[in-house]
């Protein structure tokens, strides 16, 4: 696999000198994915499920074909794949439906300060409404979730565990399989936020034995507006829909209605047809690249980036032991948003902010960090330009001292 030929699939990489290191926010979209979305819009453009004409059948086949691709990717059943708007809406769906059904006064919900807000806030809401208790896995000195620390908070009161698989702010891989095993010993349900994991590593939900798992299309070469909730079939069946309306019903009377089987009872209204079809194409594309290559690239680029950054005085790296291509840092004495403007002048796209992880920022005693995050189409030359941009930012702000 040659990264230079891969880059030809990405219009922006071919037609500009952009160094794109904001992949943890969203990945770039390759031509085959854009072509497939265009194909749906230009050649089909019609609704699914309800139509009795050829175009609608074809759109339905592509839409449901995308569900099959997701099922294959995750090693689960077709009916266990619910399409959502993204990770956030998938995680909210579990909390609003199952969470509100099973959580009772005094129950405990385990999460962590390392979570993206989307993994934590839906459970804050459930805890507040049900008078349950949110419990946080103590992070270790590197701000990691460890099995040892998870054991300290796991108890007979634990009903739900909601944790990330890979942290978007620190790039750590959570030892989720062992955590799931321990949680199940207590009868707890585990929801895995895989927004950062799905783009970067193979996921086998049977092997993990997680109860729910969520990810977004736009971080893995797919379009925005589409995501996935995987749920164990028997759990999805017990869950009530949270949105009601078209397409999700069997029969409707004036004062009651019956609903379709899962996953359709959760997909209210006209589905995200183009999005799902685009996600299907993205999965094909990722499979053609291969997770082996993706992980190898992440490791090579991470090692190179850290090695070069460690030679620069006056920067603080918050996760020098990151497991992935996500590096969080600050230039000492410079606000990350100010630094970001210099990166932008150099056409190096990075992210400055709290990364939707304000509790973690508090643990780091920072309001914000600069985050660089790689994907398989990045090169060592990209990292060189990023390092040069750090030097330029330092020189610029040093000139004011």
Under the binding rule (CB under 6 A), the answer on residue 374 touching ligand PMP is no
Under the binding rule (CB under 6 A), the answer on residue 116 touching ligand PMP is yes
Name the segment binding ligand PMP (CB under 6 A); options: 52-60, 80-88, 305-313, 344-352.
80-88
Residue with tokens 């969203």: 26
Under the binding rule (CB under 6 A), the answer on residue 119 touching ligand PMP is yes
Contact 322, 335 (CB under 8 A): no
Write each residue from 153 to 172 as x if it is in contact with ligand PMP (CB under 6 A), else as -, in one continuous string: -----------x---x----
Contact 302, 317 (CB under 8 A): no
Contact 62, 51 (CB under 8 A): no
47: number of Cβ within 10 Å: 16
State how far the Cα of 395 lies from the Cα of 115, in Å rounded to an integer: 34
Q: What's the closest the beta carbon of residue 23 comes to ligand PMP, in angstroms?
A: 10
Contact 63, 276 (CB under 8 A): yes
Q: What's the closest the beta carbon of residue 95 comes to ligand PMP, in angstroms?
A: 13
Q: What DSSP line would sit under 57-108, residue for residue? A: HHHHHHHHHHHHHHHHHHT--GGGEEEESSHHHHHHHHIIIIIHHH--TT-E
Under the binding rule (CB under 6 A), the answer on residue 88 touching ligand PMP is yes
Query: Measured from the CB atom, is 6 or 163 closer to ligand PMP?
Result: 163
Tell me which of 76, 210, 221, 356 is the catalytic residue. Answer: 356
Is 356 noted as a catalytic residue in this protein? Answer: yes
Q: What are phi and psi of 330, to 5 degrees?
A: -140, 155
Write each residue from 319 to 358 as x if it is in contact with ligand PMP (CB under 6 A), else as -, in one continuous string: -------------------------------------x--
Q: Which of 87, 97, 174, 369 binds ligand PMP (CB under 6 A)?
A: 87
Q: Which residues bind ligand PMP (CB under 6 A)?
A: 24-25, 86-88, 116, 118-119, 164, 168, 193, 195-196, 216, 227, 356
The catalytic residues are: 356
């Amino acid at each position: 696999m040659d990264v230079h030929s891969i880059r030809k699939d990405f219009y922006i990489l071919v037609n500009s000198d952009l160094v794109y290191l904001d992949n943890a926010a969203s990945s770039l979209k390759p031509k085959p994915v854009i072509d497939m979305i265009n194909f749906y819009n230009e050649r089909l453009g019609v609704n699914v499920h309800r139509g009795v004409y050829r175009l609608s059948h074809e759109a339905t086949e592509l839409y449901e074909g995308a569900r099959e691709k997701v099922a294959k990717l995750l090693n689960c059943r077709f009916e266990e794949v619910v399409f959502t708007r993204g990770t956030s809406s998938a995680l909210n769906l579990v909390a609003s439906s199952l969470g509100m059904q099973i959580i009772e006064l005094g129950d405990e919900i385990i999460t962590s300060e390392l979570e993206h807000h989307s993994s934590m806030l839906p459970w804050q809401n459930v805890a507040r409404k049900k008078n349950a208790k949110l419990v946080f896995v103590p992070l270790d000195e590197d701000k990691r979730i460890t099995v040892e620390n998870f054991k300290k908070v796991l108890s007979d009161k634990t009903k739900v565990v909601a944790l990330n698989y890979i942290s978007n702010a620190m790039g750590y891989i959570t030892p989720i399989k062992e955590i799931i095993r321990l949680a199940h010993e207590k009868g707890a349900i585990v929801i895995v936020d895989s927004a950062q994991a799905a783009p970067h590593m193979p996921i086998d939900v049977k092997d993990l034995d997680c109860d729910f798992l969520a990810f977004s299309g736009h971080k893995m070469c797919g379009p925005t507006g589409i995501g996935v909730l995987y749920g164990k079939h028997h759990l999805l069946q017990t869950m009530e829909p949270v949105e009601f309306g078209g397409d999700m019903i069997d029969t409707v009377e004036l004062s009651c209605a019956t609903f379709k089987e899962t996953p359709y009872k959760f997909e209210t209204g006209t589905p995200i047809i183009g999005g799902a079809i685009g996600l299907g194409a993205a999965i094909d594309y990722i499979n053609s690249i291969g997770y082996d290559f993706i992980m190898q690239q992440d490791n090579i680029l991470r090692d190179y980036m850290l090695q070069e950054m460690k030679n620069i005085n006056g920067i603080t790296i918050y996760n020098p032991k990151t497991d992935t291509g996500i590096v969080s840092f600050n230039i000492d004495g410079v606000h990350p948003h100010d630094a970001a403007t210099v990166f932008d002048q150099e056409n190096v796209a990075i992210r400055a902010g709290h990364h939707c992880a304000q509790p973690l920022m508090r643990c780091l005693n920072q309001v914000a960090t600069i985050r660089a995050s790689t994907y398989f189409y990045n090169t060592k030359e990209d990292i060189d330009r990023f390092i040069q941009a750090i030097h330029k930012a330092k020189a610029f702000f040093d000139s004011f001292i």
